[in-house]
Amino acid sequence: MKRMLAVVAAAGLALSMSACTDPGAGSGSDDGTKTVGVVALVATDALNAAVIKGVTKVAEENGWEVHVTDTNGSVEAANAAMITYSTTQKMDAIAVMAFQTPALQAGLQSAIAADIPVVSWGGELGNGIIATTSARQVGQDSIDALLEDFGDEGAILALTYHTGVLCLYRGYAFDDTVAQHTGLDVTRNEVVIPGQVENGTAYTSAWLASHPKGSEPLAVWGSWDEPAIGAVAALQQSGRDDVWVYSINGGPQALQAVKDGTIRQVVWQDGEAEGQGMMQAAVDYLDDPASWQQKSIDIAGVVVTADNIDQFLADHPDALNP
């Protein structure tokens, strides 16, 4: 019932949103409370939400407030949000998620001019960025684990997404590694957002037609969970159980699929820990900006398979129901 009420409340909130905007949220406001502005790629995505949760946790521990802007994947909206955070709302720090740093020049210039530190989730270290998380690490973890499990002979369908910086670097890790294994026949299909699940289903279904059962070892590699879940749907629709599916992110759907045996292996990215690391970097920077060194926050992924899923869920009891 609480959730039903939340739906109604959200509808009302959306209608009254224009009247509720706080124009002066940062320490420029009267009470001096510090505020971090989060620029989310897609706030409804599970991993994005986990990162925001981590940012919020450390922010609240340090007495900060958190504002979130959902850009729905739009880099223009990300730049606009950063400019608003810097000039109008005068935030004390900005956390920007999954955008390439070179695409954020307008927003970064605005933040630099206002002397506001920016932490990035997955973007490159650049002028104005004080810390970032590594987008490539889990991609490398995933392809390494795939090769160890699947071997280096067979056909792989790679469901890629080059627009998002996380998937871009995961894709680089995948490409660089499979290039060293000539026995792998890789078909790459680029999914689009929105439609990522549907795309995963459609590409896999067509790929299955040209890769009949028993022809060779077969696998699907999703650069993140949603296309991989679409691939699982295609396999189930066509009654195929001979194709192994690999994914990255480790959201609830993918973890459940590992538990059900429909996904072979997923690299769980600890988004909450990454969010915590980002926010801690912002707090530490403001304590002593003069001696700060730009840094990359590398948090290795956890390879989750049928063998360790039960232990993983015991260690991370919120993973299926965050």
CA distance 256 to 178: 28
Q: Choose which of 29, 134, 256, 296 interacts with another protein (CB under 8 A).
A: 256
The single-letter code of the amino acid at 321 is N
CA distance 169 to 223: 10
Backbone angles phi, psi at 121, to 5 degrees: -105, 95
**Interaction between residue 19 and another protein (CB under 8 A):** no
Q: How far is the CB of 254 from another protein (least distance, A)?
A: 9
Q: How far is the CB of 110 from another protein (least distance, A)?
A: 27
Backbone angles phi, psi at 306, to 5 degrees: -60, -30
CB 103 within 8 A of CB 136: no
Q: What would the two tokens of residue 154 be?
A: 């067979």
Residue closer to another protein (CB basis): 126 or 195? 195
Residue closer to another protein (CB basis): 40 or 131? 40
Q: Choose which of 35, 71, 86, 199 interacts with another protein (CB under 8 A).
A: 199
Q: How far is the CB of 106 from another protein (least distance, A)?
A: 25
Residue closer to another protein (CB basis): 13 or 179? 13
DSSP assignments along 53-91, one per residue: HHHHHHHHHTT-EEEEEE-TT-HHHHHHHHHHHHHTS--
**Interaction between residue 220 and another protein (CB under 8 A):** no
CA distance 86 to 108: 9
Q: How far is the CB of 18 from another protein (least distance, A)?
A: 12
**Interaction between residue 234 and another protein (CB under 8 A):** yes
Q: Choose which of 167, 218, 257, 282 interacts with another protein (CB under 8 A).
A: 257
Residue closer to another protein (CB basis): 84 or 249? 249
Name which of 4, 38, 21, 45 is nearest 250 in CA terms: 45
**Interaction between residue 293 and another protein (CB under 8 A):** no
Query: Please, which of residues 124-163 interact with another protein by CB under 8 A?
Result: none
**Interaction between residue 320 and another protein (CB under 8 A):** yes
Interface map 168-197 toward another protein (x if CB under 8 A): -------------------xxxxxxxxxxx
Compute how many residues bind another protein; rule: CB under 8 A.
Answer: 59
Residue closer to another protein (CB basis): 133 or 199? 199
Q: How far is the CB of 147 from another protein (least distance, A)?
A: 22
Residues 6 or more apart whose Cβ sits within 8 Å of residue 12? none
**Interaction between residue 255 and another protein (CB under 8 A):** yes
Q: Choose which of 144, 198, 242, 284 interacts with another protein (CB under 8 A).
A: 198
Distances, alpha carbon 107 to alpha carbons 85, 104, 127, in Å: 9, 5, 11
CA distance 30 to 9: 29
Instruction: Name the DSSP letter for residue 238.
Output: T
Q: Choose which of 11, 113, 300, 306 interacts with another protein (CB under 8 A).
A: 11
**Interaction between residue 306 and another protein (CB under 8 A):** no
Strands (E) located in 62-209: 65-70, 93-97, 118-121, 129-133, 154-160, 184-190
In this structure, the chain runs to a length of: 322
CA distance 227 to 236: 14
**Interaction between residue 46 and another protein (CB under 8 A):** yes
> Which parts of this chain interact with another protein (CB under 8 A)?
1, 3-4, 6-11, 13-15, 42-46, 49, 187-199, 201-203, 205-210, 226, 229-230, 232-234, 236-238, 251-253, 255-257, 260, 320-322
